Structure 1
Amino acid sequence: MNNAINLIGRLLLAALFLPAGLSKLSGFEGTVGYISSVGLPLPTVAAAAALAVEILGSVALIVGFQTRIAAAVLAVFTLVASVFFHAFWAAAPEQAFVQQLLFFKNIGVIGGLLVLVSSGAAGFSLDAKKEAQ
């Protein structure tokens, strides 16, 4: 049962990141503009890095490949993105509540990713298949 629950958890976490990465791929210029709007340097490089982390990290979670590393990278990425894009402490009053919800939702996602860093992918994964060899 733990293997199935772990797989479901990995799939649900990937469901957050994979569509976001694919939308960055299909709307790359918009992503660059959004990153520019918060004043981050090298927005084109940042957009490319974000879509790579989201897409590759999601695929790694789905198949359970280098799960601990993928989850750690996604956790750091989510923390950085949360600070820059959901800064509720600096938001206009009419936007602060929604930004705060998004920020703390991401903190919860980071918690789930850190559980994967700690526990790994369990049985239904390429990691487990590799360990069995």
Structure 2
Amino acid sequence: MITMNPNLNVSLNANSALPAAGRTLIAAIFFISGIGKILAPGATMAYIGSLGLPAPALGLIGALTLELAGAALLVVGYKTRLVALLLAAYAVATALIFHHALADQNQMFHFLKNLAMAGGLLQVVAFGAGAFSLDNRRAPAGRAVA
């Protein structure tokens, strides 16, 4: 048994892997988006600049850092709640900044996708990394991190 809190005992079973699988699936979109930005940095900076945002190169570096580092940390479950909160805020911010033209069906889809991503990430914030995570490994003996 792994004690998650004084009032709840959970044994490792097939469900123990579900949080890790969920974190990996959520991280995939950030990883793929980051790779896309690496492969086409000029297009990314042009898009940022076309919206009148300052310092497109700095925006690209910030997005790359958050997307790639955030995805990696989410997958391994390190500082999971903080990382998930940062990625959720990023998903909402990018929805509002880049996908606010809701009359365009494609932009509406991306806006709602970002909100759904933020919702999934807030579940990670609320319930933690789960059993298969570095956060759990760092927990005191006999106490798993939720």
Correspondence list, 1:1-133, <5 A: 1-89=14-102, 93=103, 96-133=104-141
Separation in 1, partners of 2:131, 2:82: 17
Amino acid at match of 1:36: G
Give deviations 1:15-58, integer Å, cap 9, x for gaps. 11001112212222221111101111111101100010000000
Letter in 2 for 1:111: G
Q: Which runs of 4+ in 1 moved over 4 A?
A: none
Assess if the C-alpha contact under 8 Å between 1:13 and 1:109 holds in 2: yes
Structure having the higher helix fraction is 1
Structure 1 portions without partners, runs of 5+: none
Higher-Rg member (1/2): 2
The TM-score, its normalising length taken from structure 1, stands at 0.90
Amino acid across the alignment from 2:85: A
TM superposition shift of 1:2: 3.5
Alignment gaps of 5+ in structure 2 = 1-13, 142-146
Indicate the percent of aligned positions where both proteins have the same amino acid. 37
Aligned mates of 2:140, 2:68 — CA distance in 1: 27
**TM-score, structure 2 length as denominator?**
0.83
1:2/1:122 contact within 8 Å kept: no
Compute the displacement of 1:77 (Å): 0.8
The structure that is strand-richer by fraction is 2
Tell me whether 21-30 or 53-62 shows the greater mean CA deviation: 21-30
When the two chains are superposed, the root-mean-square deviation of aligned CA atoms in Å is 1.3
